């Protein structure tokens, strides 16, 4: 039966564009596995952090590359819906990978070719049988250029900064909107200009501007695209 087809769905986009929210909701409705590849890059940054493989704003590349075989990333059993915790060598690191130290290190880690090769291979293994919604920056361009459906998510920088500011204020009451916006702008710059796996819209990706669409409309639009594919 055609409807038993298990699709590979790639959702790429800018930081704080709402791509994970859409990806999770879509995976929930379809009963697919959701993979947050940003969490995996954060997992390597966490390994760098706990092993002291960095100084101020630089990573000890050679030491990290030598020890990359010690980094075993997996996703554990779902806690809620499709949200599965990231495990580093079997230990749940879902919370610490979101803290500001890791957020500061992760862009530096994500430009290292050996790290990208390792994680891209792992992501391909995870998605090989389909039935997957994977979100990231290079899923539709590098990890699964043959994905059945590609969605590229964007939103105006001010809108993304506002969302992130509201989220961060809960834990960091002194944070300013300007600081959050500057951080996002710098992450956009790093993400879009790195030489390997830069963030860019695949030619065959459908563009979603989440500043103009409600969450419900985004999900409806994505489901319509999925149903069109399954009806083929
Ligand atoms: O989505 P996020 O903010 O958790 O991503 C964390 C970092 O990882 C961010 O700097 C971009 C990078 N990343 C990447 O280079 N490739 C991916 N497929 C996913 C994330």
Which pLDDT does position 230 carry in this prediction?
94
Structure tokens at 162: 């506002």
Report the pLDDT value the prediction gives residue 168, as an integer from 0 to 100: 86
DSSP bridge partners of 106: none
> Residue 141 above 60 pLDDT?
yes
Strands of the sheet containing 132-136, edge to edge, are: 33-36, 132-136, 8-13, 149-154, 206-209
Q: Is the CB–ligand 1 distance for residue 137 below 6 Å? A: yes
C-beta of 136 in contact with ligand 1 (< 6 A):
yes
Q: State if residue 38 touches ligand 1 by the CB under 6 angstroms criterion.
A: yes
**What span, in angstroms and rounded, lies between the C-alpha atoms of 73 and 89?**
6
pLDDT band at 101 (very low <50, low <70, confident <90, very high): confident
What are phi and psi for residue 160, nearest 5 degrees? -65, -40
User: Residue range 58-69: average pLDDT?
Assistant: 96
In terms of DSSP H, where are the helices of the chain? Answer: 19-30, 37-50, 61-67, 100-110, 113-127, 157-169, 177-193, 215-231
CA atoms within 13 A on the CB side of 193: 7
Residues 82-111, mean pLDDT to the nearest whole number: 91
Nearest-angstrom CA–CA distance, 86 and 93: 6
Calculate mean pLDDT across residues 44-61. 94
For position 231, what pLDDT does the model report? 93
The share of the chain scoring above pLDDT 70, in percent, equals 98
Which of the listed residues 137, 150, 153 should we mutate to test ligand 1's pocket, taking the one with most ligand atoms within 8 A of CB?
Answer: 137
The CA distance from 133 to 127, in Å, is: 8
- Residue-level pLDDT at 1: 43
Q: For the chain, what is the mean pLDDT? A: 93
Nearest CA residue ID for atom 4, ligand 1: 38
* Ligand 1 pocket mutation, candidates 35, 101, 110, 188, criterion most atoms within 8 A of CB: 110
The residue whose CA has the least distance to atom 6 of ligand 1 is 38
- Phi, psi of 4, deg, nearest 5: -80, -5
pLDDT at residue 57 is higher than 80: no
DSSP 170: T
Residue 107's pLDDT is what? 87
Average confidence (pLDDT) over 141-158: 97
Mean pLDDT of 199-228: 96
- Residue 78 falls in which region: left (phi positive, over 0), alpha (psi -120 to 50) or beta: beta
The share of the chain scoring above pLDDT 90, in percent, equals 81
Q: How far, in Å, CA of 134 to CA of 140, rounded?
A: 9
């Amino acid at each position: 039966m055609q409807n038993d087809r298990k699709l590979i769905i790639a959702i790429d986009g800018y930081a704080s564009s709402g791509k994970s929210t859409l990806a999770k909701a879509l995976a929930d409705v379809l009963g697919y596995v959701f993979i947050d590849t940003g969490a995996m890059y954060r997992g390597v940054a966490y390994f760098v952090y706990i092993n002291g493989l960095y100084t101020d704003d630089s990573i000890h590349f050679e030491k990290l590359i030598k020890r990359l075989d010690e980094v075993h990333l997996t996703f554990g059993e779902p806690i809620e819906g499709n949200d599965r915790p990231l495990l580093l060598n079997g230990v749940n690191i879902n919370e610490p990978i979101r803290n500001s130290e890791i957020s500061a290190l992760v862009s530096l880690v994500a430009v290292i070719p050996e790290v990208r090769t390792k994680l891209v291979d792992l992501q391909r293994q995870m998605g090989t049988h389909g039935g997957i919604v994977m979100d990231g920056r290079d899923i539709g361009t590098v990890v699964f250029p043959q994905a059945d459906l590609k969605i590229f998510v964007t939103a105006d920088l001010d809108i993304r900064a506002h969302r992130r500011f509201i989220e961060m204020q809960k834990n960091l009451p002194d944070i300013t909107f300007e600081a959050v916006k500057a951080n996002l702008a710098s992450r956009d710059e790093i993400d879009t200009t790195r030489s390997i796996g830069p963030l860019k819209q695949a030619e065959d990706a459908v563009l979603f501007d989440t500043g103009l669409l409600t969450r419900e409309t985004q999900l409806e639009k994505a489901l319509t695209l999925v149903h069109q594919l399954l009806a083929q």
